[in-house]
Amino acid sequence: MRLLHTMLRVGDLDRSIQFYTEVLGMKLLRRKEFEEGRFTLAFVGFQAEDEGSVIELTHNWDTDEYEQGNAYGHIAIQVDDVYEACKLIHQKGGEIIREAGPMRGTNSILAFVKDPDGYAIELLDER
């Protein structure tokens, strides 16, 4: 068994694809429209789907925004240098919601970024 993908519902698919590809550096792996169901799926990731887990961005054509509720936490991404990643994300227009720095009580360095729909993404160093 292996983890295939995590699905996020997004209000503006093109804006979300731009964020995940241009700001976070993922690749658009595939995109497919389902006219009868009135939705589009786009899969983004750092690796091909057969090599690692990816994110499925689901856009329901008749829904522009979603309420996240209080159960969602975050997606975590490992980066070589959290400080440098935050600098690059900021330069590309990404929103940093917790600047890079040590996690209380540990040696780990982390930061949090918000995607266009408000989903939190944690950036972690390799420790």
Q: Which residues are catalytic?
A: 122
Give 113's strand partners. 96, 121
Q: Which 8-state DSSP code applies to residue 106?
A: S
| DSSP H/E element including 91 | helix 82-91
Which phi-psi region, left, alpha or beta, contains residue 29 (left: φ > 0; alpha: ψ -120 to 50)?
alpha
